[in-house]
């Protein structure tokens, strides 16, 4: 078992903070919190102090993936595993740790160049419950963490080896397919009951982040978001559909940073680690998810 328990948060560097504020509120139904500082917005989707940090900057891409342990023991196990594998983590500054609202924070760059952060004891603020800006039944987080990210990597085998062998992620399945004649194969990796917390593939996209996914408790909230896409001025990129592996019903759209968000409902949970059999699929979806 891994000591990496779940995806705690992500940070995106975005060129248009105000466009993100509007998008997050009107389409995602995320609660937007200002700061810290004029160049940062925090998005809440549950009782955590934040789940997505947006920092003003030119990259319009993911700049940090925050993974968490349950406690200090788990955190130290991650530190030891990274060191043993030749990827020693660096302790974050006090300011960085405070900004993340965690007890301790260490950082490492993974073999593919992604900035990873590890922590435990994240700030929870149930005294100020998640307050969506429109009626919304909330998001599936908790034990399953923020959601998932799909990232592009220069070498899928190298990335899989790191996440599987060093960080203890387990392969849920493989999708071997192509898109517009290009290899679009991905390996789906989990670190808790969520079918995948990370998916990695060698898709030649200009950004490291292909998409991040938020999972609604209620399918109607997916529909209500879908209804708001046309007025957002942003492009829907995949039609409503059901994924073949995690069974999620979702749609995709571009964010103000062009990287995509998947907004879904109903993903499967891996209940029994011992009996999960890894599959390979040659399509991404049972129905729908047409590229628009
Ligand atoms: Fe996804």
How many Å apart are CA 59 and CA 18, to the nearest integer?
A: 16
pLDDT, tens digit, 9 for 90 and up, residues 146-172: 999 999 999 999 999 999 999 999 999
Rounded to the nearest 10°, the torsion over CA 57, 58, 62, 67 is: -30
pLDDT, tens digit, 9 for 90 and up, residues 210-262: 999 999 999 999 999 999 999 999 999 999 999 999 999 999 999 999 999 99
Q: How far is the CA of 118 from the centre of ligand 1 (A)?
A: 22
Q: How far is the CA of 80 from the centre of ligand 1 (A)?
A: 30
pLDDT of residue 153: 96
Q: What percentage of the chain exceeds 90 in pLDDT?
A: 92
- CATH number, domain with residue 182: 3.10.180.10
Of 91, 89, 118, 134, whose CA–CA distance to 228 is shortest? 134
Q: How far is the CA of 276 from the centre of ligand 1 (A)?
A: 20
Q: How far is the CA of 262 from the centre of ligand 1 (A)?
A: 6
Total number of residues shown for the chain: 292
Does some domain include residue 132? no
pLDDT of residue 2: 63
Rounded to the nearest 10°, the torsion over CA 108, 78, 76, 96 is: 30
Q: Are residues 109 and 41 both part of a single domain?
A: yes
Q: Could you tell me the CA-to-CA distances from 7 to 59, 60, 125, 178 in Å, in that order?
A: 22, 20, 18, 28
Of 129, 124, 125, 86, whose CA–CA distance to 108 is shortest? 86
Q: How far is the CA of 246 from the centre of ligand 1 (A)?
A: 9
Q: Are residues 179 and 209 both part of a single domain?
A: yes
Does some domain include residue 104? yes
- Which residue range is the domain that position 172 belongs to? 142-288
| DSSP alpha helix (H) spans, the chain | 17-23, 72-84, 94-100, 156-161, 219-232
Q: Are residues 116 and 195 both part of a single domain?
A: no
pTM: 0.97
Into how many domains does the chain fold? 2
């Amino acid at each position: 078992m891994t000591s990496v328990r779940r995806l705690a948060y992500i940070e995106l560097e975005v060129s248009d903070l105000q466009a993100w504020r509007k998008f997050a509120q009107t389409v995602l139904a995320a609660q937007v919190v200002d700061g810290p500082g004029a160049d940062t917005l925090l998005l809440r989707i549950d009782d955590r102090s934040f789940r997505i940090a947006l920092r003003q900057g030119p990259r319009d891409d993911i700049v940090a993936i925050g993974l968490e342990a349950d406690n200090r023991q788990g955190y130290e196990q991650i530190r030891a595993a990274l060191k043993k594998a030749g990827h020693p983590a660096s302790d974050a500054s006090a300011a960085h740790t405070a900004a993340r609202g965690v007890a301790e924070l260490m950082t490492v760059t993974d073999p593919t160049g992604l900035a990873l952060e590890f922590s435990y004891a994240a700030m929870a603020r149930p005294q100020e419950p998640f307050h969506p800006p429109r009626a919304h039944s909330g998001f599936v987080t908790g034990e399953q963490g923020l959601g998932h990210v799909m990232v592009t990597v220069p070498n899928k085998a190298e990335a899989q080896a790191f996440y599987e062998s060093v960080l203890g992620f387990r392969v849920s399945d493989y999708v071997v397919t192509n898109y517009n004649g290009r290899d679009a194969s991905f390996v789906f990796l989990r670190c808790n009951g969520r079918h995948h917390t990370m998916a990695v593939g060698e898709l030649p996209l200009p950004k490291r982040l292909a998409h991040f996914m938020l999972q609604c408790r209620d399918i109607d909230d997916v529909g209500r978001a879908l209804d708001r896409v046309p007025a957002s001025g942003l492009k829907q990129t995949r039609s409503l559909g059901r994924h073949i592996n995690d069974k999620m019903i979702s749609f995709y759209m571009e964010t103000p940073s062009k990287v995509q968000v998947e907004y879904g409902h109903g993903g499967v949970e891996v209940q029994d680690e011992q009996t999960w059999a890894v599959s390979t699929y040659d399509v991404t979806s049972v129905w729908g998810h047409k590229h628009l």
